[in-house]
Structure 1
Amino acid sequence: MPRYLGILLELGLIVFCLIECIQAPPGRVRNLPTWAWILLILFIPYAGPIAWLVAGRPTAASAGQAVPWRSTATAGFPEYERPGAPADDRQLLAGLAASDASDRALLAQWEADLRAREAALRDDAPGPPPGQGTGDPRTP
């Protein structure tokens, strides 16, 4: 088992570095073009992947510059950064309140209709003949 450890380590390092190299933004890869890094990782054992990790991988500072329009002021929720947020739109809020009121009225009407139907079914339901059980085999 110990002799396979080196092979597994090399294979894992190659796979990790190859995936990371392929997914790196093309303009942010350092020192060599992406295709050259891929060849280096694949054909030079240990040294290729380690060289990618040390000298080719985009740094955190350059990776942050890849998207200059992104702001971290609201922790990744850009809808809070837009002017005219929905909470400021009085016409929208009035429309939502009217819709909510009509939905509540419709729900109350449905509940009243359901109660009336249940009461009618209870009144019209024939009971068991006098002297007999409910039909449940567990009751005598």
Structure 2
Amino acid sequence: MGRYLPIVIVALLTIYCVVEVAQAQPFAVRRMPRWLWATFIICVPLIGAVCWLLFGRPTAESRGDRTGRGHPKAPDDDVDFLRGL
């Protein structure tokens, strides 16, 4: 069983990364287009998956998400909102 564990881990990591590539928004993926990332992950499973996680995966900045950057998360955290009550 122990010798099959690395193969199972690589297979699960590959499946996870392919699903994540398929669900990623096209404009948010970094470095390469989505179809090229999917091909790379499938053809070179371990290296492709690790490269996707490090270099291609969308970040909050690439998605255009600004939550947590100077904006309050809830109305009661916003000083201007509380001042207007």
Fold-level match, TM-score > 0.5?
Answer: yes
Instruction: Quote the residue 1:62 is aligned against.
Output: 62
Aligned position for 2:17: 17
CA–CA distance in structure 2, aligned partners of residues 47 and 9 of structure 1:
13
Cα separation, 2, equivalents of 1:12 and 1:60: 25
- Helix, strand or coil for the counterpart of 1:2? coil
Superposition deviation, residue 44 in structure 1: 0.3
Superposed structure 1 runs of 4+ greater than 6 Å apart: none
Q: Shift of the alpha carbon at 1:62?
A: 2.3
Q: CA RMSD in A?
A: 1.8
Count residues in correspondence: 70
Q: 2:30·2:62 contact (CA, 8 Å) conserved in 1?
A: no
Write the distance in 2 (CA, Å) between the matches of 1:22 and 1:66.
20
Instruction: Report the Cα offset of residue 73 of structure 1.
Output: 4.5
Q: Contact 2:14–2:41 at 8 Å: present in 1 too?
A: yes
Using the aligned pairs only, state the percent identity: 41
Structure 2, unmatched stretches of 5+, are 67-72, 76-85
Aligned position for 1:50: 50
- State whether structure 2 residue 34 is matched by structure 1 residue 34: yes
Unaligned runs of 5+ in 1: 75-140
Superposed CA deviations along residues 13-60 of structure 1, whole A, max 9, x for unmatched, are: 001100101000000100000000000000002100000000000012
